[in-house]
Amino acid sequence: MPRFDPGITEPIWKIRWKMNMRSLAQNWEIFKESRVGMSGLIIIIAFGIFGLLWPIMINFVWDPLIYHPVVGFDPMMMHPSPPMASHLLGTDPIGRDILAQLMFSTGREFLLGVLSAVISVVVGTFIGAMAAYYGGFTDTLFMRLADIVMLFPFVPLLVVIGSMIRLGILPFAIILGFLEAFGGITVILKAQALQVKVRPYIDAARVAGGSDLHIIRAHIIPNVLPLSFLYMMFNVTGAIVSEATLSFFGILNIDMSWGMMIHTAETAGYLFDFGKFWWLWAPSGFFITLFCAAFYMVGRGLDEVVNPRLRKR
Amino acid sequence: MLGRVGQLVLTLLIYMTMVYFLMQAMPGDISQVYLANPRIPQAARQELKKQLGLDRPPVLQYLSYIKNFFTGNLGVSFSHYPRPVWDILIERLPRTIVLFVTANCLSFYVGFVLGRIIAWQRGATVDHIATVVGITFWTAFYPLLSLILIWLFAFTLRWLPLNQFIEPALWVKAPFTSNTVFGYMVLGASVIALAVFFIFWTFRRGLRRTRKSAALAWGMTAGVIGLAIWIAHATGTLIYIWDIIRHMILPVFTLTLINFAGTMLLMRDSMLETVQEDYVMAARAKGLPENVVRDRYAARNALLPTVTSLVLSLASSMSGGLVTETMFSWPGIGQVLFRAALGNDYPLATGALVFTGVFLLVAHFVADVLYAFLDPRISYTGQPAAEG
């Protein structure tokens, strides 16, 4: 039997790569239109640079004995001291440099937010696609599970778990990711996958002999991926807020984070005089809000890419 | 409908099981806490353990936990000994519900009105400013924001009382308990709300909307509220009610500030879809005024996803209520749960978790019913929608 030869000499992966690049470029054009999304992206990049400065500063510029975010101490002055030349944002009640703490935490916040968001979206996308594709028992099982997970009061649950075991940053990110994954994400992505499932090309793939796994992997998941990506952005926000809140209440076993900085200021009693000791709470509070807002704004920008109806006519 | 209720009960059972095993997994079980007193001899410990039923196999313990829940027996709290858990929760639940229902309705209304405006003026300065301000509050670090507001309004300006539910000095000589007054207050507020709703509903339906009828409606509303105030004054509860309301203002304001943006952005997106529909263009072509087209045609059809989110956000704010109640020392379910979890008060923590779960479950159920009621395309029988 003569094979069908379309006269293409390039390998198939190269063509796929080019097509992906082209659609990425198109989406980028749409995303660029959104002013909110672009500002969010710029803020995130700024945060990234700020976080990357940390290893340089601690290794080459700052003395680790004084500027270490957890055990540093400056013996030359009273603490907490207001901003000055040697401590640009002042020091906290036990003599640690605020700017160093902020910088050190930035990388950790990125790790936490991105890790938990990636886990939730990868697991959620896969489960959503499976539930939509197979339907029946699989569908019912995961949807009821999602109901129960969504039913769990989120913050109280984490408080209970946190009072049980001292959660470090990685276990916390993983727990958060899985809780999100089995909850709302699955339901949303399943609804999207259902719309993909009834398209003709799925039938075509099946007729051509594609296995279930192949169809899910190669046809359904790529088509729900933009929406997954969108929810990833929102999940980063959720993860950071949860971490900050629980750190603030002193429940997590994290040595330093933005929430922890406010916790330190609060337990030492300096939050009773807000105006006077502003450098203890303002930088970290501002960073939490800005960081979350940035991811949320990128999410809003992506929303216009994913939902064509939101775009300007 | 019956199937839905069946699923509800099943979900509740699974949820309760999970809560039970979560509590069992906590280090140092109940007997350890209860029997930690070294002055109790070993024999007495064994006897106590037997009395508490802790020597029985876990399965039997679990079954009696389920049975006790449905007969309304949640055990006795450790930290509030000897008050039963049920008693504490029943006392705290109305406070939580009132706080969050008020705040959610308010933030929903603000978000709805703002979202309607910014969607209509998309791309204008108003749109950008409202979006940025909304996102800022929506993602603001909540505990810190509430601390700032407490510091500003209660500490520096002294306009509002600092935290708590009531002013103890005022209530020492009160001839009734705060819960009685609070109960009457909630009852009165519901009656007023119903009356006002009924007045406006009648005027909207029955008469033509003229300036005179609007004035009459507002007059009657003022009359109803005046009557309520007079009744409160006559029974001598007015100052006490005012005291509770004063304590509610700050938490409600903070919650509104945090939550309104969610509704606003959702409403904006939802409106952007409806303004492209043909009936909006038709309404405009008829020559209807711009705000009538916006409010009666575009906004009403955009309302559907927003209403569902109202019920769901009520549920999620209940669980987030732990933060609010702890920050504002508002003695509700969330605060009880927080203290019980940190203080190893297992019966109380279990009870509060299950209670919150039941509330959320009911809220989800209401959301489903409401959705089916508002959108006739969705049927109850569980048939999937035609587009599949």
A window 113-152, beta carbon within 8 A of B:
144, 147-148, 150-152
Do B29 and A165 touch, CB atoms closer than 8 A?
no
Q: Which two tokens stand for residue B372?
A: 């089916």
Rounded to a whole number, what is the distance in Å from the CA of B322 to chain A's nearest CA? 7
CA dist B92 and B96 (Å) reads 7
CA-based R_g, chain B, Å: 25
Distance (Å) from the C-alpha of residue B343 to the closest C-alpha of chain A? 9
Q: Which among A118, A151, A154 is positioned nearest to A242, based on CA atoms? A: A154
A225, A125 contact by CB (below 8 A): yes
Residue B120 pLDDT class (50, 70, 90 cuts): confident
Return the pLDDT at A77.
Answer: 80
Q: Copy the structure tokens of residue A187.
A: 């339901």
Q: How far is CA A221 from CA A182, A190, A192, A305, B388, in A?
A: 17, 11, 10, 17, 18
- The pLDDT value recorded for residue B152 is 87
When comparing pLDDT for A1 and B115, which is higher? Answer: B115
Is residue A93 less than 8 Å (CB to CB) from chain B? no
Interface subset of B 190-249, CB within 8 angstroms of A: none
pLDDT at A110: 92
Q: Chain B: residue nearest A152 by CA?
A: B357
Which B-chain residues 248-267 have CB contacts (< 8 A) with chain A? 265
The pLDDT of residue B377 is 64
Per-residue model confidence (pLDDT) at position B126: 87
Q: Which residue is closest to B359 within chain A, CA to CA?
A: A151
Q: How does DSSP assign B79-106, residue by residue?
A: TTTTSBHHHHHHHHHHHHHHHHHHHHHH
Q: Please, which residues have CB within 8 angstroms of residue B114's CB and are 6 or more apart in sequence?
A: B130, B134, B260, B264, B267
C-beta neighbour count of B325 within 10 angstroms: 25
Contacts of A274 in chain B (CB under 8 A): 147-148, 151
The pLDDT assigned to B9 comes to 84
Residue of B nearest to A310 (CA): B272
Q: Is B139's CB within 8 Å of A293's CB?
A: yes
Distance from C-alpha of B14 to C-alpha of B361, rounded to nearest angstrom? 12
pLDDT in tens, A153-180: 777 777 777 777 777 888 889 988 988 8
Read off the tokens for B40.
Answer: 């109790």
ipTM higher than the 0.85 cut: no
Whole-angstrom Cα distance, residue B378 to residue B385? 7
pLDDT per residue as tens digits for the range A12-22: 888 888 888 88
Contact A156 B26 (CB under 8 A): no
pLDDT of residue A118: 92
The CA–CA distances, whole Å, from B221 to B200, B206, B212, B228, B356 equal: 9, 17, 14, 11, 35
A139 neighbourhood in chain B, CB within 8 Å: none
Q: Name residue B84's beta-bridge partners.
A: B76
Write down the pLDDT at residue B150: 87
pLDDT band at residue B319 using 50, 70 and 90 as cut-offs = low
Q: Given this model, what pLDDT does residue A193 score?
A: 86
Is the CB of A151 less than 8 angstroms away from the CB of B15? yes
Distances in whole angstroms, Cα of residue B184 to Cα of each of A145, A152, B237, B246, B374: 40, 32, 9, 16, 32
Compute the distance between CA of residue A59 and CA of residue A62 in angstroms, rounded to an integer.
7
Scanning every residue of chain B, which has its alpha carbon at the shortest distance from the alpha carbon of A250?
B342
**A-contacting residues in B 112-141 (Cβ below 8 Å):** 122-123, 128, 131-132, 135-136, 138-141
Nearest-Cα distance to chain B for A98, in Å, is: 17
Amino acid of residue B185: M
> Whole-angstrom Cα distance, residue A192 to residue A127?
12
Residue positions counted in chain A: 313
Mean pLDDT lowest for which of B251-265, B341-355, B360-374? B360-374
State which residues of chain A have pLDDT below 50. Answer: none
Q: What pLDDT, on a 0 to 100 scale, did the predictor assign at position B28?
A: 56
pLDDT tens digits for range B22-62: 877 766 555 565 556 677 677 777 777 777 777 778 788 88
Asked if the Cβ–Cβ distance from B341 to A163 is below 8 Å, we say yes
- In this prediction, residues B369-379 reach a mean pLDDT of 67
Spatial distance between the Cα atoms of A24 and A18, rounded to a whole number of angstroms: 10
**Tens digits of per-residue pLDDT, B76-113?**
887 777 788 888 888 888 888 888 888 888 999 999 99
pLDDT in tens, B145-180: 888 888 888 888 888 887 777 777 777 777 777 788
In this predicted structure, what is the pLDDT of residue B65? 83
Q: Cα–Cα distance between A132 and A202 in angstroms, integer?
A: 13
pLDDT value of residue B178: 78
